Amino acid sequence: MHNDISEILFTEEQIADRVSEIGAAITRDYADAADEGIVLISVLRGAAIFMADLARQIELPCEMDYMAISSYGNGAKSSGVVRILKDLSSEIEGRHVVIAEDILDSGLTLTYLLKNLASRRPASLEVATLLRKKTLAQAKIDCKYIGFECPDEFIVGYGLDFAERYRNLPYIGILKPEVY
Ligand code: PRP
Ligand code: MN
Ligand code: MG
């Protein structure tokens, strides 16, 4: 285990199993759309690893597109301001869209993204989030696919960073408070 991590919350194996289950659920749920397939949209940079793994567990035609949004900068707290750093490469009008997010925390990012993408009139729009923090603020965001509920700690790994570090840890763990 990395020296800056106090506890591993989800191991590499637990994550792989859950991602595989979510992929199977998406494959089932969109079976009627097997001809046109779906568009997976990952929210850079945190969700890139989750989406890469999830896409390989979906047995449907699956386009992958990317949007870059940042609300946290390099700090440990959300700035409260969402910025689009990179928009989608393709149109999503009339498509079945699934947003892949690494974590739903305050809900600021997803609230913004759902509103923004809905205005482009996709055929359907759902969210797959690997992690969801149990806090009141995000309770009203409807996520069809949730990997794990997690405690309100500063967690890193499997895409999640602190100041751009720790994204490449294969597991998800709690960062020691003295590090941030
Ligand atoms: C993190 C995380 C989610 C978002 C969740 O992204 O990857 O996208 O915050 O927090 P929220 O629900 O409070 O909005 P961040 O803005 O740190 O950018 P990153 O993905 O590049 O790390
Ligand atoms: Mn993010
Ligand atoms: Mg971040």
Q: Are strands 83-86 and 62-70 parallel, antiparallel or unpaired?
A: antiparallel
Beta bridge partners of 126: 98
In the prediction, which pLDDT does 123 show? 98
- Rounded CA separation 36/63 (Å): 10
Ligand 1 centroid distance, CA of 51 (Å): 14
Report yes or no: 51 and 64 within 8 Å, Cβ to Cβ: yes
Question: Is the CB of 150 within 6 Å of ligand 1?
Answer: no
Q: Determine which residue's CA is closest to atom 20 belonging to ligand 1.
A: 46
Question: Is the CB of 133 within 6 Å of ligand 1?
Answer: no
Beta bridge partners of 12: none
| Mean pLDDT value across residues 130-144 | 82
Give residue-wise pLDDT tens across range 1-31.
899 999 999 999 999 999 999 999 999 999 9
Question: What single-letter amino acid sits at 75?
Answer: G
| Mean pLDDT value across residues 38-42 | 97
| Mean pLDDT value across residues 145-161 | 96
| Mean pLDDT value across residues 107-111 | 88
In the prediction, which pLDDT does 109 show? 87
Looking at 3.20.20.70, 3.40.50.300, 3.40.50.2020, 1.10.3720.10, the CATH number of the domain 2-72+79-179 comes to: 3.40.50.2020
Report yes or no: 5 and 174 within 8 Å, Cβ to Cβ: yes
Question: Is the CB of 46 within 6 Å of ligand 1?
Answer: yes
Residue 105 structure tokens: 């925390």
Report yes or no: 106 and 79 within 8 Å, Cβ to Cβ: no
In the prediction, which pLDDT does 93 show? 98
Residues that are catalytic: 105
Domain ranges in the chain are 2-72+79-179
Give residue-wise pLDDT tens across range 44-95.
999 999 999 999 999 999 999 999 987 755 565 666 678 889 999 999 999 9
Residue 150 host element (H or E):
strand 145-150
